[in-house]
């Protein structure tokens, strides 16, 4: 049944407007958006100003269950590439963190993945994320064998998204190797590995499962240039194009300096340059992290139309470095945010880290402000637009044809007192630590009311049971 929501103020693509009626069709999309309107007698009234919801363009759901496990020095078995973790933080790195992840993985089965993902998605929705790009590479059982249905783990993620109401762009990951040039994968990677044909079968199965569901989309994610060869990358992309020529493509790239050095040794080119030259990324692509780029790479990535997928809290947690944000934005580059390893699940914190990192690096303020001069609003809207492009779904804007994804700000929040218009999002992002969000609608369905997800208790019970098994 179609419905209407009336808001006293809302941030529309053309700016802030008053007395806005959102007409929502039966599929959960915005049929019309009318400013300076009178509320219809049967219209619901939003309890505060309405803004677009945020897409979370990069998630590894299973890592929600291991958040915090790598935050101690000298943890047993944290050796391997990058150091042992002994002797203080000087020897700790992304590569040591990765060993912690590998030790955690054997305990995670389909039931645990679904419960952890559902809990994560509840937390995302309560934070104002309305869609998620699930970069899914936990395909097989702990021995590395395919499940009876090779798409079992992908289907569990779809089930978690449906149970919680979040929009989902599922990105099954092509992962075949352990290093540049087709180096053999390690024991800890055996649950990830697929040849292109096997991975494309998972993609096709997910497409069938989500057929006709406007809340879902399927793409493909070559994990990184470390994990594919030019041949498997080509075959994966060709197979995806045969299934859906407009499907999103995501890839990790240039996150760590060691990755850049290894790519140079393998190909004579840095990873972003190799991708730009050989793969031709366009507006369907999302290059996740892209932390370490030259000035030319930064300019050319911006010109390609691809989205830079930035995950500031995870990048800080892993000691990755600083994305060249001022130059990228000056070149007109599209970008969005993701929570990645989920040591934080909050778009406000991601946006703050993005800006504050640049302030510390450059010793200036309001580094990333756009033309409006309102930093919080500029960051929120740019991230919403770039994230929507990366997820390949019509979200990120309150306009006809887009999904009815509405975030209602909490007018009672002290940080919003006396604020209106653009100053509302400036304050929502940069004033205080209490989340000033009240209600969240996704696809025409209220998922969060008064800050609480409607299925919070049931989902939490499943999560607690799963964590008890994982930590037994």
| Spatial contact of 92 and 83, defined as CB atoms under 8 Å apart | yes
List the catalytic residue out of 235, 300, 340, 405: 340
Please give the structure tokens belonging to residue 248: 């999103």
Catalytic residue flag (residue 111): no
Backbone angles phi, psi at 374, to 5 degrees: -100, 100
Q: What is the dihedral of CA 217, 220, 221, 225, to 10 degrees?
A: -160
Backbone angles phi, psi at 158, to 5 degrees: -60, -40
Backbone angles phi, psi at 183, to 5 degrees: -65, 145
State how far the Cα of 320 lies from the Cα of 310, in Å rounded to an integer. Answer: 11
Provide the terminal-to-terminal Cα distance of the chain, rounded to the nearest Å.
47
State how far the Cα of 66 lies from the Cα of 142, in Å rounded to an integer. Answer: 16
HEC per residue, the chain: CCEEEEEEEEEECCEEEEEEEEEECCCCEEEEEECCCCCCCCCEECCCCEEECEEEEEECHHHHHHCCCCCCCCCCCCCCCCCCCCCCHHHCCHHHHHHHHHHHHHHCCHHHHHHHHHHHHHHHHHHCEEEEEEEECCCCCCCCCCCCCCCHHHHHHHHHHHHHCCEEEEEEEECCCCECCCECCCHHHCCCCCCHHHHHHHHHHHHHHCCCCCCEEECEEECCCCCCCHHHHHHHHHHHHHHCCCCCEEEEECCCHHHHHHHHHHHCCCHHHHHHHHCCCCCCEEEEECCCCCHHHHHHHHHHCCEEEECHHHHHHCCCCCCCHHHHHHCCCEEEECCECCCCCCHHHHHHHHHHHHHHHHCCCCCCCCCCCCHHHHHHHHHHHHHHHHHCCCCCCCCCCCECCEEEECCCCHHHCCCCCHHHHHHHHHCCCCCCEEEEEECCEEEEECCEECCHHHHHHHHHHHHHHHHC
Distances in whole angstroms, Cα of residue 45 to Cα of each of 30, 52, 147, 428 = 16, 17, 47, 21
Catalytic residue flag (residue 340): yes
List the catalytic residue out of 289, 292, 342, 453: 289
Active site residues: 289, 340
């Amino acid at each position: 049944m179609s419905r209407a929501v009336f808001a006293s103020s809302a941030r529309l693509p053309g700016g802030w407007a008053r007395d806005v009626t959102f007409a929502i069709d039966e599929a959960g999309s915005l049929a019309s958006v009318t400013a300076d309107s009178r509320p219809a007698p049967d219209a619901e009234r939003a309890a505060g100003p309405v803004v677009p919801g945020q897409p979370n363009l990069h998630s590894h759901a299973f890592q929600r269950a291991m958040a915090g496990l790598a935050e101690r020095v000298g943890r047993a078995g944290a050796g391997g590439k990058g150091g042992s973790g002994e002797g203080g933080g000087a020897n700790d790195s992304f590569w040591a963190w990765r060993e912690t992840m590998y030790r955690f993985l054997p305990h995670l089965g389909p039931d645990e993945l679904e419960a952890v993902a559902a809990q994560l998605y509840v937390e995302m929705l309560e934070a104002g994320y309305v869609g998620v790009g699930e970069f899914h590479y936990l395909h097989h059982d702990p021995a590395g064998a395919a499940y009876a249905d090779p798409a079992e783990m992908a289907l569990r993620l779809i089930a978690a998204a449906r149970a919680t109401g979040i929009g989902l762009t599922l990105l099954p990951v092509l992962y075949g190797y352990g290093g540049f040039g087709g180096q053999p994968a390690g024991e800890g990677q055996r649950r990830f590995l697929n040849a292109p044909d096997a991975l494309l079968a998972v993609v096709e199965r997910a497409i069938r499962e989500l057929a006709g569901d406007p809340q879902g989309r399927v793409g493909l994610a070559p994990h990184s240039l470390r994990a594919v060869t030019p041949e498997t990358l080509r075959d994966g992309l060709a197979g995806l194009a045969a299934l859906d020529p407009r499907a999103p493509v995501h890839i990790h790239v240039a996150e760590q300096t060691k990755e850049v050095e290894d790519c140079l040794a393998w190909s004579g080119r840095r990873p972003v340059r190799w991708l730009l030259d050989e793969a031709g990324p366009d507006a369907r692509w999302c290059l996740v992290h892209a932390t370490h780029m030259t000035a030319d790479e930064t300019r050319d990535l911006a010109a390609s139309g691809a989205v830079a997928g930035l995950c500031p809290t995870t990048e800080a947690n892993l000691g990755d470095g600083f994305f060249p944000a001022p130059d990228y934005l000056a070149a007109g580059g599209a970008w969005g945010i993701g929570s990645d390893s989920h040591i934080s699940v909050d778009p406000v914190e991601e946006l703050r880290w993005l800006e504050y990192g640049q302030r510390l690096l450059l010793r200036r303020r309001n580094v990333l402000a756009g033309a409006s001069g309102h930093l919080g609003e500029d960051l929120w809207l740019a991230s919403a637009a770039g994230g929507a492009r990366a997820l390949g779904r019509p979200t990120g804007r309150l306009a006809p044809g887009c999904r009815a994804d509405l975030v209602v700000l909490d007018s009672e929040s002290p940080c919003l007192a006396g604020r209106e218009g653009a100053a509302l999002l400036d304050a929502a992002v940069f004033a205080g630590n209490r989340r000033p969000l009240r209600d969240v609608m996704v696809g025409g369905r209220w998922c969060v009311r008064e800050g609480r997800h409607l299925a919070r208790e049931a989902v939490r019970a499943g999560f607690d049971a799963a964590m008890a098994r994982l930590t037994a």
